[in-house]
Amino acid sequence: MLGCVCSYSFLIASPLSLKRDPNESNVEISLAKYQYKVTGNVSARLLEQDFLSKFTPSRTVLVVNTLWYTSLSLSIATAFMAMLAKDWCYSFGAKRTGHPFDQARRRQRKWKLIERWKMPELIDGLSFMMHLSLLLFVVGVCIHLWDLNRTVAIPVISIAGIFLTFYIWTSIIASLVDSFPYTTIISRALRSNHLQPLYLTVGKLTSRGVSTLTLVYIGAHYVYLALAIIPAGILTAFFSLFAILDRYSLAAFTNTSADLFALIQFLWVTAAELVAMPWQILVGLCLRIGSLFNWLTKRLELSEDRTTSLALAWIIQHCETPSAVDIALQAIAGAGQGFPREPLLSCQAIWQIMLRVISHNSSHEDHARNDRYTRGLKFLGFDSNLISADERQKTEEDIELMVWDLKAKHERRIAELTKDGSFIPSDHNFQALKIGTSVASQCLGFLTGEVKTTSETLSTITRLISRHFKSSTERLHPVALHSLAKAAALYASFSTASEIPPELLNLCMKYCETLVEGIDSVEEIDDVDSTCDFGTGVMFVMCILMHVRPASSRDQVSETGLSLFRCQARPGRTIRMLIDVYTEDEKLQGYIFWLGCCEILCNPSSYGLKMKAGNWEGLRRWCNNQASHSLNRLVPPFMQSWNHDQMKRKVLRNRFITAASRIRDLVVASRPSGTKPPPLPEPIHIILAILGCDSSLPSRKIQECHKLLSQSQIPRPSEALIEIIKTEMALTILVATYLRKTQPHAQRHFAATQLWLLFYLSSGRASLNKCELREMIKSMIASSPQLRTKEFDQFQRELEDFIIIGYRKDHVVYGGVGGDESRSRSIWDRFQVRLQKWQTEASSQ
């Protein structure tokens, strides 16, 4: 109706423009009659008809009138449909007579017909019709004013353009971002469930199109690079000839033929990179646009923790009910690690809590409330000796918060997994769910001392899992099995090795082997179907890794020491890893599962497992295949600019290093203080050594690789180590990193230490594995143009000198040695003696 009123004044004069003005026509006809009467050739009636038949409206007039009358028609039709919709809504609530049962059936029948005939969608479309009517009217006004006077039309068009841009922008953003406030009928239609199948079809077609374009791009790129070899070769030959002829340049850059070879190789790579630079710029621009879009999307979205923090801050700042403000202030005590503090600090939560702490009395209820206020002050960073506590109490409070956070995430995951309706309400499934949901209170009982042992609950878990594998009638639903796995991991973190049933460990390994049986042996972790529940497998792996058998009586821990150990490292690490299972992507959980299985299979006796022939052969084969895939997928390419999957490779490396750190931290935390952790599995050790040589990784990730290797014992020259080195990729990358002088010194020094370690493993008392490793190193030396003139022992001594000189240089630079030269020489003489002592011990073995 508003549109009709607004357009009424325009529509009054609009029909007149479709026909000729009568006054103007009379004047022109009279003038024509007079002219023709002078000539006396045509009658007045024929002249008038011929003149009127020649009139046609202009194109602008036709367009403007079409837009305005269409707008008027849409407005009237929308008003008519709105009146009908009002009557439909009244009819839905009519006839409320009879028995309540009959009323409910009648009401449900009406509602079902309303949904079947899409009445809600029809009513929602009325607003779109009104928006379209206003749009047509405004466009007609702009065209009309532009035809009359452009000065008047410019501000009108500007205002209309601004509001139209705002409408389109809000429709696009609201269709992409959840809970966006500026929604429109278009955004609601785009986010409706009716269009989801269309999106899936369009997504598949787009994916196929992108794959085809990617293949075309890769083919064109390689053709381009093949053509670029010719100018790259010319440039390389020119610079090499210039370096050879110029003695000064040759003396500055090269000392031997090996250095000359390295210079030529460097010039070749540089020339090829210069030729390939346009492709790098194109790919980099696309990646930059994609990362900017992802950043904007994440910027607009609010995480759950930040939303909770903003809600508490609003209640504290604006709510006028004192009890509600008290509840919000006490809720801060439940904030966990990573919870945003800025909104709470901005609303002066510390001052509000201090007012309540000062005014508390000595009653038991008020004392409990004051404890929560105290915990809230600690979280907000309030530093005071009045609220300080010992380290053990702080650790127990952190664990308590993490337990409740884990309980909330576990319940949400269970609710999501049971939505499909496949859950079977049997006794054993309900019992498994009950154990998983009650584990939080049991863990808090361990912290307070109310619960002393976990043997009974672990026996129940073992019995349920055993029946799951043995009986077809008592098989557990994946949700129930997931709940049991979480409970087993948590109970194991508070238990000693003697309290964990050995049968439970074998059942955990059986589940892991069953999990990988449904995965293709040649399929990589990142390509595994999302239905594969790696999270449950990670929980079972954690249960095994915490079952550490002391190697000797010296490693036995007293009950007092064990109690302190329970309340500190292992439970906290376990709960954090379980929380990560619910918050991180499934691909990272796959890496954690794989590395955990490798750790267990590498040291089965350390975890109370008896290795027999044929045990877990399928799991071992899958782990070895993943190691081979990862070695090819994670190693740095020879030329970074030719790597089309550089971003994907970067993500895979981050996942691998993060997963290795998680597993290693849990292994270290599960062992009593003073005991050495076992060596890393051989494939993991080699992959970390190769990644530590890659200068393209962030420095934080490189330091993480170095830390993992430094915390591990020296690997054994086992068959697994020989198999992983047989690929020749590890030795090639380590040697290339050491010999390439353009690499940072830290990477060259690290590569030298890893090479020297392989030399050390190949020396000593002769064995089949050591001899094979020694032959592989000799073959590598013979195949390298820069090393073929050197002997085995000569290259080893060169590595030793490079390691010592480089370490001494860094040590002096950072002030570790001081200015006393004799004292410095004594320190490095001792270091060299230590190297010689290791060689002597190896030769005596």
State the average pLDDT over residues 527-547: 80
Q: Looking at the 3D structure of the chain, how many domains does it have? A: 3
Residue ending a domain, among 158, 174, 193, is 193
| Distance set, CA 533 to CA 429, 492, 577, 597, 620 (Å) | 18, 21, 16, 15, 19
pLDDT at 399: 77
Question: Is 10 domain-assigned?
Answer: yes
pLDDT at 551: 52
For residue range 585-627, what is the model confidence (pLDDT) as tens digits? Answer: 778 888 899 999 998 988 888 887 876 655 788 888 888 888 8
Tell me the H-state helices in 610-728. 617-634, 646-670, 682-691, 699-710, 719-725
Of 34-38, 437-441, 538-542, 572-576, the range with the lowest mean pLDDT is 34-38
Query: 546: helix, coil or strand?
Result: coil
Higher-confidence residue of 400 and 147: namely 147
Question: Is 346 domain-assigned?
Answer: yes
pLDDT at 734: 85
Higher-confidence residue of 345 and 637: namely 345
Question: Is 379 domain-assigned?
Answer: yes
For residue range 181-215, what is the model confidence (pLDDT) as tens digits? Answer: 888 888 888 888 778 888 888 878 887 887 787 77
Tokens encoding 307: 């939303």
CA atoms within 13 Å, Cβ hemisphere of 764: 19
Binning the chain into helix, strand and coil, the percentages to the nearest 5 are 75, 0, 25
Percentage of residues of the chain with pLDDT beyond 70: 71
State the average pLDDT over residues 377-400: 62
Please check whether residue 553 is in contact with residue 499, taking contact to mean a CB–CB distance below 8 angstroms: no
Residue ending a domain, among 271, 300, 329, is 300
CA–CA gap between residue 631 and residue 723 (Å, rounded): 12
CA–CA gap between residue 832 and residue 827 (Å, rounded): 9
Question: Is 650 domain-assigned?
Answer: no
CA–CA gap between residue 716 and residue 508 (Å, rounded): 27
CA atoms within 13 Å, Cβ hemisphere of 54: 9
What secondary structure letter does DSSP report for 554? G
Mean pLDDT, the chain, rounded, equals: 76
Are residue 169 and residue 220 in the same domain, yes or no?
Answer: no
Higher-confidence residue of 568 and 389: namely 568
pLDDT at 159: 94
Question: Is 485 domain-assigned?
Answer: no
pLDDT at 12: 56
pLDDT at 737: 84
Question: Is 470 domain-assigned?
Answer: no
Q: What confidence tier does 132 reach under pLDDT thresholds 50, 70, 90? A: very high
State the average pLDDT over residues 21-46: 58
Higher-confidence residue of 171 and 235: namely 171
For residue range 473-505, what is the model confidence (pLDDT) as tens digits? Answer: 888 888 889 899 999 888 888 887 777 888 888
Are residue 10 and residue 143 in the same domain, yes or no?
Answer: yes
Percentage of residues of the chain with pLDDT beyond 90: 7
Please check whether residue 743 is in contact with residue 695, taking contact to mean a CB–CB distance below 8 angstroms: yes
pLDDT at 135: 92
In sequence order, the 6+-apart residues with CB closer than 8 A to the CB of 205 are none
- Using the predicted structure, report yes or no on whether residue 815 has a pLDDT greater than 50: no
State the average pLDDT over residues 7-25: 57
For residue range 274-318, what is the model confidence (pLDDT) as tens digits? Answer: 656 666 677 677 777 777 777 776 666 677 788 888 999 999 999
What is the number of other CB atoms lying within 10 angstroms of the CB of residue 419?
8
Are residue 159 and residue 51 in the same domain, yes or no?
Answer: yes
Highest-confidence range of 97-111, 226-240, 721-735, by mean pLDDT?
97-111
For residue range 407-438, what is the model confidence (pLDDT) as tens digits? Answer: 888 888 888 888 777 788 888 889 988 888 88
Residue ending a domain, among 388, 423, 454, is 388
Give the orientation angle of helix 502-517 with respect to helix 478-493, to 10 degrees. 140
Q: What confidence tier does 707 reach under pLDDT thresholds 50, 70, 90? A: confident
State the average pLDDT over residues 742-767: 82
Of 61-75, 227-241, 242-256, 374-388, the range with the lowest mean pLDDT is 242-256
Q: Which domain holds residue 325?
A: 304-388
Are residue 199 and residue 189 in the same domain, yes or no?
Answer: no
- Report which residue type is found at 330: Q
pLDDT at 17: 58
- Using the predicted structure, report yes or no on whether residue 47 has a pLDDT greater than 60: no
pLDDT at 360: 63
Are residue 125 and residue 28 in the same domain, yes or no?
Answer: yes
CA–CA gap between residue 167 and residue 131 (Å, rounded): 10
Q: Which of 630, 170, 582, 217 is nearest to 417 (CA)?
A: 582
State the average pLDDT over residues 96-102: 84
Are residue 99 and residue 235 in the same domain, yes or no?
Answer: no
Are residue 180 and residue 212 in the same domain, yes or no?
Answer: no
Higher-confidence residue of 21 and 327: namely 327
Of 103-112, 145-154, 248-257, 337-346, the range with the lowest mean pLDDT is 248-257
pLDDT at 248: 45
Are residue 311 and residue 281 in the same domain, yes or no?
Answer: no
Tokens encoding 310: 């903003």
Are residue 103 and residue 143 in the same domain, yes or no?
Answer: yes
pLDDT at 313: 92
pLDDT at 554: 46
State the average pLDDT over residues 816-821: 39
Question: Is 103 domain-assigned?
Answer: yes
Q: Nearest 5°: CA angle at 570, between 567 and 573?
A: 110
Q: What confidence tier does 555 reach under pLDDT thresholds 50, 70, 90? A: very low
For residue range 660-675, what is the model confidence (pLDDT) as tens digits? Answer: 998 888 888 777 766 7
State the average pLDDT over residues 241-245: 59
For residue range 154-176, what is the model confidence (pLDDT) as tens digits? Answer: 999 999 999 999 999 999 888 87
Question: Is 557 domain-assigned?
Answer: no
State the average pLDDT over residues 345-358: 84
Tell me the H-state helices in 726-845. 729-739, 745-762, 768-783, 792-813, 821-844
- Using the predicted structure, report yes or no on whether residue 746 has a pLDDT greater than 90: no
Q: What confidence tier does 53 reach under pLDDT thresholds 50, 70, 90? A: low
CA–CA gap between residue 51 and residue 28 (Å, rounded): 9
Are residue 138 and residue 286 in the same domain, yes or no?
Answer: no
Are residue 181 and residue 95 in the same domain, yes or no?
Answer: yes
- Using the predicted structure, report yes or no on whether residue 254 has a pLDDT greater than 50: no
Are residue 202 and residue 346 in the same domain, yes or no?
Answer: no
Higher-confidence residue of 81 and 729: namely 81
- Using the predicted structure, report yes or no on whether residue 13 has a pLDDT greater than 90: no
Higher-confidence residue of 564 and 750: namely 750
Q: What confidence tier does 365 reach under pLDDT thresholds 50, 70, 90? A: low
